[in-house]
Amino acid sequence: MLPTICVSGLGYSFPDGYTLFQNISFTMTGGKTGLVGANGCGKTTLLKIIRKECSPTEGSLRTNGNFAVLEQEQSGYSALTLSEVLEADKKIAALHAIAEGKGSETDFVLIGDDWDTEERIHRILYASGLDHIPLDRRFRHLSGGEASRLLFAKCLLQHPDLIMLDEPTNHLDGKNRRLLYEMVREYKNGLLVVSHDRQLLRLMDTIIELTPSAAHLYGGNYDFYVRQKATERNALEQQILTAELELKKEQRAAADAAASRKKMNTRAEKNSAKGGIPKILLNRRRGKGEQSLARMNAVHEKKLNRLQHRVDELKDGLTVLNNLKIDLRTEPAYNGKILLKADGINFGYNGTLLWRQNIDFTLHTRVRISLAGDNGSGKTTLAHLLTGQIQPVCGTILRNDIRIGSIDQKYEIIDPGITILDNLRRFAPSEMLEHELRIRLGRFLFYKEEVFKQAKDLSGGEKCRLSMACLLAVSNEPDLLILDEPTNNLDLAGIEQMQSALQQYTGALFVISHDQDFLESIGIDSVLDLNRYKNIDFEQ
């Protein structure tokens, strides 16, 4: 059965009256669909409505087919075994009882037609890269990637017509992402995927973009969506240009007509005065002239208002490309060749070392490094060693006279208890005035009264921008910038903004990320892979 989701005029408002979205209409029949949109636009809420977990405040929803959900909340599975998570433990026990000649009528009823349950489980776990894990292993002992793949396998065992996935690659390392991509690629039924993972979105057949007032459907994958958005934008910009030219032309015509009419009235008054026309008749002619001018002005004003409304209407449909604008020095403050050198470092607890061999490497000016490795390989630990937050148990780290900036996944550089403006003030030179700080915040898309917003109330994307501002918007931006999964909490627009900032940054970069598009965009030129570590000297 082809799954069908038919949404018509759907809207959702919170009890306080805030409208999350409205006028959402689309039809989805089978295939793999990616759902994209700004953070906070209601993508997860829309999935909950489709799953009948909450009700819309307006509009209608019609669904057909058997749906499964890849759950984000995993804590409820912690104490269960793999077979219990897969909801196959009772059927497996019944099969074993029957095989041993101890089966009861209840066992036969429980199995029904599913005599191949164990074979199907093995087949699906093999495809998921989990066949090496015994079914009696506790869920809590799985890695994050293994847990996500197991829950996807659970969905597959339900024979669904469609699986819904909400940010399935968040917090997955590169290996587990690739495994999930392969599972998605091989899956033949329907998928509805909320994600900002561009590689995953390239596996989709259709993209739906959710906005507060509409859902826009694009009949292709992410790359097609990007091209279509660019085409739409170019067409809209051309329409705006044409409308503005027409408006200016009409404004000139109105001004010329008014000046010409005024000149004619003045000349007529002079001629009438010379001809000795009685004052009462002169006033009557003047009144008629003024009435004629007023009628003409009204006609022009009506046309101008119509044209201005058209321009405003077109501009309302144009999404502003808010790229960050950063004034950075063209040369690094530190003129030496070597920024930082790690010599035989390692880390561990109670005598157990994290890496099987000690790490040696050298960071040079302007180099851009990606730190790769599976979850648990020590990427964040190495970043903390470089910043000096922790110390190695052996070896040394030489940091020359450089400034190191760091942004972690929790944006701990930000003080949540103060405003955006006050956060920037903490990093700015003491002599920098408030209007200068606000100018710099504007380059990071914080405008007007928004700078007085409390940092604790910011979205993930806003926190990321503020963190970047604190490090890059003042005169002493870092020579080395260390970023730990910087795109994890960002929507597609936020990722583009961060890419824009880092493309302008002239210092060295040390980046932990599994987003290959992001790494390519910011010009990564070297990779340190902790999975197969070897001594290496990073130099451009």
| Contact assessment for residue 218 and residue 207, using Cβ atoms and an 8 Å cutoff | yes
> What average pLDDT does this structure show over 488-504?
85
pTM over 0.85: no
Average pLDDT, the chain: 85
Q: Looking at residue 274, what is its pLDDT?
A: 57
pLDDT in tens, 247-300: 888 888 878 777 776 776 666 566 655 555 565 655 565 566 566 667 777 777
pLDDT category of residue 307 using cuts at 50, 70 and 90: confident
Q: What kind and span of H or E run contains 176?
A: helix 174-186
Q: Would the pLDDT of 232 be above 70?
A: yes
- CATH fold of 4-222: Rossmann fold (3.40.50)
| Contact assessment for residue 145 and residue 95, using Cβ atoms and an 8 Å cutoff | no
Which of 184-193, 308-317, 330-339, 493-502 has maximum average pLDDT? 184-193
Q: What kind and span of H or E run contains 223?
A: helix 222-274
DSSP, collapsed to helix, strand or coil, labels residue 406 as strand
* Domain 4-222 matches domain 338-538 at the CATH topology level: yes
Q: Looking at residue 516, what is its pLDDT?
A: 92
Q: Would the pLDDT of 470 be above 80?
A: yes
Q: Is the Cα torsion angle 231, 233, 236, 238 positive or negative in sign?
A: negative
Structure tokens at 400: 């020359």
pLDDT in tens, 20-31: 999 999 999 989
Q: Give the burial string for 448-487 (b: 16+ CB within 10 Å, else e).
A: eebbeeebeebebbbbbbbbbbbbbbbeebbbbbbbbbbb
Q: Would the pLDDT of 527 be above 60?
A: yes
pLDDT in tens, 308-351: 888 777 777 666 555 666 665 545 555 668 899 999 999 987 88
Instruction: Identify which has the larger pLDDT, 110 or 187.
Output: 187
Q: Would the pLDDT of 538 be above 50?
A: no
| CATH class, range 338-538 | alpha beta
Q: Would the pLDDT of 108 be above 70?
A: yes
Q: Looking at residue 282, what is its pLDDT?
A: 53
pLDDT in tens, 406-465: 988 788 899 999 999 999 999 888 888 999 999 889 888 888 899 999 999 887 778 888
pLDDT in tens, 55-84: 999 999 999 999 999 877 777 888 899 888
Structure tokens at 144: 């994050």
pLDDT category of residue 536 using cuts at 50, 70 and 90: very low
Task: Determine the angle formed by the axes of helices 174-186 and 144-157, rounding to 10 degrees.
Answer: 10
Burial of residue 271 (number of CB atoms within 10 Å: 0-12, 13-18, 19+): exposed
Which of 124-128, 315-319, 380-384, 533-537 has maximum average pLDDT? 380-384
Q: Looking at residue 319, what is its pLDDT?
A: 62
Which one, of 470, 475, 480, 540, lies nearest residue 509 by Cα?
480
Q: Looking at residue 111, what is its pLDDT?
A: 79
Domain segments of the chain as ranges: 4-222, 229-316, 338-538
| Contact assessment for residue 152 and residue 69, using Cβ atoms and an 8 Å cutoff | no
Q: Give the burial string for 132-149 (b: 16+ CB within 10 Å, else e).
A: eeebebebeebeebbbbb
Q: Would the pLDDT of 192 be above 70?
A: yes
Q: Would the pLDDT of 539 be above 50?
A: no
CB within 8 A of 114, min separation 6: which ones?
A: 91, 120
